[in-house]
Every structure is written in structure tokens, then in C-alpha cells.
Amino acid sequence: MIHCRAISCPATHKMMFPSLPPPEQVVPIVGIVATSNGRTCDVHRFGCGNVLLLSRPARGCGVLLRLRKTGPDTLAAFFVLRDGSNGCRVGFAPREHSVGARGDSLDGAIVRIFEVYTPDHPNSYCRALYHRNYGYALAEKE
């Protein structure tokens, strides 16, 4: 597991974890490591989301994503490029965040990843989320 919000306390040399954002600001992103359903392109043959996790120093933490409605019940997550445009599709918001008024309010929203679950996470529940969802991250609405 990668905690992007961890900071080192100089007095005790221990890691401190600031409080999480309010639940209404947190959006899970699933399917990051999958290579199906538009999550791969000619440049990223092993999956655009894999590039998100493997090529970044913090394994994806701090990356900006834009959520866009791509169907009536589908909210896709795209890289936000330096010029502000959409890049590759890397994952999706779960269905409970994609339907109804919540999905409409998140359409076009920019989120920043603050935690990424990995297959070597010490918590078995978090490992299960990673495997069940083909990659799992938590993002905060900007």
C-alpha cells in the first residue's frame, strides 16, 4: 500500500498520517491494471494504468485524473495531461459513484490519487480489493 499523505515527524522520526478527506470527497478508482475496455493504447501496450503505477515515483499517488461519463452508468477516469486535456483512459469509478445525481455531479471533475492498493499490501481486505477490481486506488475530489 502506498500512503501518499505520509509525512515524517523530525522530532520522533516516525511516520504520521494526516486525516483522510471527508467521505463525500473520496472516489475509488477501479480497474487500473486491466488492459481491456479501452485501458490500453498503441503507446502503452501493457495497459495505460500500469504506466500510471510503474513509471511514477510514488506509484501513481498525486496523479490527476478527470472523470467523464462514457455511458449512462459509466464514469471513466482519464489522465490529465500538462495542457489540461484528457490523456489515456486508466480506470473507472465504481457503479455506486457513476449512477444518478452522484455520477452527474462527478462528470468532468478532477480527482487526485492519494492512496494505491497493491498486491503486497499487509491488509488482506485491501489485497482482495486490488485483485477483485483489477487494481484499486482512492482519489480525492479537487
Q: Is the pTM of this model over 0.85?
A: no
Segment 17-74, tens digit of pLDDT: 556 788 889 999 999 888 777 777 888 878 888 777 776 667 778 889 999 999 888 9
- Angle of CA points 134, 107, 89, to nearest 5°: 40
On the question of pLDDT at 7 being above 70, the answer is no
3-state secondary structure the chain: CEECCCEEECCCCEEECCCCCCHHHEEEEECCCCCCCCCCCCCCCCCHHHHHHHCCCCCCCCCEEEEEEEECCEEEEEEECCCCCEEEEEEECCHHHHCHHHHHHHCCCEEEEEEEECCCCCCHHHHHHHHHCCCEEEEEEC
Segment 74-122, tens digit of pLDDT: 999 998 988 988 888 899 999 999 998 999 999 999 999 988 888 888 8
In the prediction, which pLDDT does 39 show?
Answer: 76
